[in-house]
């Protein structure tokens, strides 16, 4: 570049040279910036080369997608036997939900997606009405799945598979956040009784493994409740999972609450806001924003913990997988089953994680955007 | 309100903007305010100064009940501050406050900061609240920043937003708690200018500050505090030219040496 001189005070902002921005600069800065970095890059490339093609071969190119049983699969190709998953796909999805009523599960799923839109996306036109719908969605879904009022009733022990995961996961997520917020606020309350109850609850629940709580839910509660009370097993599981996640949620949110400077509450009080107003409009929006990574972490943990219900006899996807593997037609196909279930969980959890990143970015108000 | 000690003289108290009578306050074992007596007439501008830890911030924070006093009476615009939440709400609706660190709400835009209280506390329609907010943002000369977030503004701009925010509920009394101490030197003037302009409008002001130039131009009375007590109070001219107490003289010599 030829030297140009500007008058003092009139030097314009010039674009950076190509060595600072372009793709080549990126490669140099990120992949080959130091000897260690060069070695790491080469090792990574070699590892990817060794791992990816065999995996793809097993999963796709050498895989069998149809066949009556394991031997038929093996006769076709040496890779994965997806015919097994294909045959059991409905079982994996709906559990033992009656075949002729499965449209209700599908409809509930579509309605769930619709209910998520206004919650997740705040620029939706008429979002307020969308949120009303999201709030009544649990009732609609409960009616659709359980039946009654014109629909054939379906017992909850017929729930299973991904549908069961979603029922437990979505319920736990939807209720643990508000309960967690209340617990976190209660833990900081100036009233000793409220504080004591919240601290006691949180510490008790956190100090006990979820499995123990699930056992309590499935057996012990029968002793405590009056004889003859019919208290659905799934409902008990839902309550226990929700309470368990709430305790963790409360601690995550408490961390966020403590990060908010005292001056924020004082400013809210000084302009005349009451405790609940200052909490809802000033403190919580900021505290929740800081807590997003922790909140989503808890959500993901909860979602994956739903697989523990297998221990008390509910058939989540892993349970369906295990019972399917017992079928002599399909023995020994563990890899396919667990990979399939893993992919399902990965898609759900990865979406949550991505959404939390999007949300964090959107709520960023520190700098120009 | 069964035992109101002011029943004999209610008219007298309600004629003042603020009455503090034999006020004591403790932080734990620490006695921060010691037997304070202060009458502020309507429209009076008072500057409070003193070394750090002298209780001057605590004094003004007691006036809108951000701090609770343990003994004595505080009567703001005829309303006595007690544990009665209605009284506290009433007082807070008439008293605006500006903080040293602005305390703007970082998750809301400048305009939303200003309309929050009118909309939620006074239940004002949004459009009306925004109109009023814009009026005050113009008064503090930053209407063009209305849709930015506080984090995108300079310190001086943030403090002016904070002033506009407290003006939006049309207070009769304004409290300033060291409004310029957290600002870079070149931004102090823009905030003081707004405060001087405000002082010309008949609002009652209590201002904790060390800006002695401001005190000289605006204040009707300067109060010097030390160790939780009012050591001396006088008109600015008398206060600066002819301080009575040794501690006042020492304090003035310390802060005026540099300015």
CATH for A293: 1.10.3720.10
DSSP structure class, residue A58: I
Binary contact (B99, A267; C-beta < 8 A): yes
Q: Is residue A177 a part of any domain in this protein?
A: yes
Q: What proportion of chain A, given as a percentage, has pLDDT over 90?
A: 59
Residues A305 and A356 in one domain: yes
Asked, for residue A315, whether it belongs to a domain, the answer is yes
A26 shares a domain with A88: no
The predicted pLDDT at position B142 comes to 92
Same domain (yes/no): A160, A41: no
Return d(Cα A139, Cα A143) in angstroms, integer: 6
> Are A189 and A290 contained in the same domain?
yes
What are the beta bridge partners of residue B76? B18, B79
Q: Give the global pTM.
A: 0.85
Mean pLDDT of the residues in chain B: 91
pLDDT digits (tens, 9 = 90+) for A174-226: 999 999 999 999 999 989 999 999 999 999 999 999 999 888 888 877 777 77
pLDDT in tens, A259-310: 999 999 999 999 999 999 999 999 999 999 999 999 999 999 999 999 999 8
Predicted ipTM beyond 0.95 = no
Rounded Cα distance between A165 and A319, Å, is: 11
* Residue A212 counted as domain residue: yes
Residue of B nearest to A281 (CA): B116
Residue pointed to by tokens 């995108």: B152
Domain count of the fold of chain A: 2
In a domain, A228, yes or no: yes
- Selected for mutation to probe chain A from B109, B116, B162 (highest A CB count within 10 Å) is B116
Is there a contact between B232 and B185 (Cβ–Cβ < 8 Å)?
Answer: no
Q: Do A88 and A234 reside in the same domain of the chain?
A: yes
Nearest to B107 among A266, A267, A285 (CB): A285
Q: Which two tokens stand for residue A94?
A: 């709906």
Query: Is A194 found in the same domain as A318?
Result: yes
Residue A240, Ramachandran bin (φ over 0: left; ψ between -120 and 50: alpha; else beta): alpha
Asked if A93 and A197 sit in the same domain, the reply is yes
What's the domain range around A34? 19-61
User: Is residue A201 located within the same domain as residue A332?
Assistant: yes
Is residue A29 domain-shared with residue A159, that is, in the same domain? no
Mean pLDDT of B90-111: 94
Answer whether residue A79 is part of any domain.
no
Residues A194 and A51 grouped into a single domain: no
* Binding-site residues on chain B for chain A (CB distance < 8 A): 64-66, 89, 92-93, 95-97, 99, 101, 103-107, 116-117, 120-121, 149-152, 165-166, 169
Output the CA torsion A8→A12→A18→A23 (10° steps). 140
Coil/strand/helix, residue B178 = coil
Whether residue A34 lies within 8 A of chain B, CB to CB, comes out as no
Euclidean distance between CA atoms A314 and A317, whole angstroms: 10
Once rounded to an integer, what is the mean pLDDT over residues A15-25? 80
On chain A, the residues whose CB falls within 8 A of the CB of B169 are 271-272
CB atoms inside a 10 Å sphere around CB A111: 16
Question: How is the beta sheet containing B173-177 ordered, strand by strand?
Answer: B95-98, B173-177, B204-208, B45-49, B221-226, B229-234
**Does a structural domain hold residue A182?**
yes
* B166 interaction partners in chain A (CB closer than 8 Å): 270-271
In degrees and rounded to multiples of 5, residue A273 shows phi and psi of: -80, 150
In a domain, A5, yes or no: no
Q: Are residues A301 and A333 in the same domain?
A: yes
Domain co-membership, A38 together with A176: no
Nearest chain B CA: its distance from A262 CA (Å): 9
Residues from chain B contacting residue A278 (CB–CB below 8 Å): none
Beta strand B229-234 with B204-208: parallel, antiparallel or unpaired? unpaired
**Which residue from A347, A336, A247 is spatially nearest to A303, judged by alpha carbons?**
A347
Is residue A185, in this structure, part of any structural domain at all? yes
Closest alpha carbon within chain B to A288: B107
Contact B168/B133 with Cβ under 8 angstroms? yes
Q: Are β-strands B45-49 and B16-27 bridged in parallel, bridged antiparallel, or unpaired?
A: unpaired
Interface of A with B in 231-270 (CB under 8 A): 261, 263-264, 266-270
pLDDT at A194: 95
């Amino acid at each position: 570049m030829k030297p140009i001189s500007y008058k003092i005070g009139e030097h314009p902002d010039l674009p950076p040279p190509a060595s600072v921005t372009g793709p080549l600069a990126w490669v140099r800065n990120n992949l080959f910036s130091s000897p260690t970095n060069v070695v790491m890059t080469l090792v990574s490339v070699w590892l990817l080369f060794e791992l990816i093609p065999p995996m793809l071969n097993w999963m796709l190119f050498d895989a069998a997608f149809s066949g009556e049983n394991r031997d038929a699969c093996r006769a076709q190709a040496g890779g994965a036997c997806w015919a097994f998953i294909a045959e059991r796909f409905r079982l994996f999805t709906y559990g033992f939900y009656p075949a002729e009523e499965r449209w209700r599960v599908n409809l509930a799923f579509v309605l769930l997606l619709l209910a998520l839109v206004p919650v997740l996306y705040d620029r939706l036109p008429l979002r307020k009405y969308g949120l009303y719908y999201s709030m009544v969605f649990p009732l609609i879904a409960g009616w659709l799945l359980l039946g009654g009022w014109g629909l054939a009733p379906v017992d909850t022990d017929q729930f299973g598979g991904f549908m069961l995961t979603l029922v437990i996961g979505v319920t736990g997520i939807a209720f643990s956040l508000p309960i967690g917020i209340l617990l976190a606020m209660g833990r900081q309350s100036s009233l000793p009784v409220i504080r004591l109850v919240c601290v006691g609850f949180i510490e008790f629940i956190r100090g006990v493994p979820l499995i123990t709580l699930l056992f309590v839910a499935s057996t012990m509660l029968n002793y405590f409740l009056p004889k003859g009370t019919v208290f659905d097993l799934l409902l008990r599981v839902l309550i226990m999972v929700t309470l368990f996640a709430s305790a963790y949620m409360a601690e995550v949110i408490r961390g966020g609450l403590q990060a908010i400077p005292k001056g924020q509450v004082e400013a809210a009080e000084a302009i005349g806001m009451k405790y609940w107003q200052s909490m809802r409009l000033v403190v919580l929006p900021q505290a929740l924003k800081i807590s997003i990574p922790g909140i989503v972490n808890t959500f993901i943990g909860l979602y994956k913990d739903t697989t523990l219900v297998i221990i008390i006899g509910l058939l989540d996807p892993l349970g369906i997988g295990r019972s399917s593997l017992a079928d002599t037609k399909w023995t020994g196909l563990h890899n396919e089953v667990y990979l399939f279930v893993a992919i399902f969980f990965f898609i759900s959890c990865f979406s949550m994680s991505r959404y939390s990143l999007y949300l964090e970015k959107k709520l960023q108000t520190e700098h120009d955007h | 309100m069964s035992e109101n000690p002011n029943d004999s003289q209610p008219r007298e108290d309600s004629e003042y903007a603020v009455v503090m009578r034999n006020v004591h306050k403790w932080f734990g074992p620490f006695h921060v305010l010691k037997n304070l007596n202060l009458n502020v007439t309507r429209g009076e501008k008072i500057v409070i100064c003193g070394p750090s830890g002298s209780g001057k911030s605590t004094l003004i924070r007691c006036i809108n009940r951000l701090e609770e006093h343990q003994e004595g009476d505080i009567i703001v615009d005829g309303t006595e501050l007690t544990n009665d939440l209605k009284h506290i709400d009433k007082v807070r609706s008439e008293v605006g406050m500006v903080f040293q660190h602005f305390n703007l709400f970082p998750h809301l835009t400048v305009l939303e900061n200003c309309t929050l209280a009118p909309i939620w506390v006074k239940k004002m329609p949004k459009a009306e609240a925004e109109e009023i907010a814009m009026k005050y943002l113009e008064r503090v000369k930053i209407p063009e920043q209305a849709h930015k977030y506080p984090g995108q503004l300079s310190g001086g701009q943030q403090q002016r937003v904070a002033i506009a925010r407290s003006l939006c509920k049309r207070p009769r009394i304004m409290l300033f708690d060291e409004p310029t101490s957290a600002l870079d030197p070149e931004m102090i003037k823009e905030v003081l200018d707004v405060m001087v302009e405000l002082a010309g409008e008949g609002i009652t002001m209590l201002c904790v500050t060390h800006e002695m130039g401001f005190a000289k131009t605006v204040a009707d009375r300067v109060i010097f505090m030390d160790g939780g007590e009012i050591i001396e109070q006088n008109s600015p001219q008398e206060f600066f030219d002819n301080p009575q107490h040794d501690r006042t003289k020492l304090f003035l010599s310390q802060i005026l040496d540099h300015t």
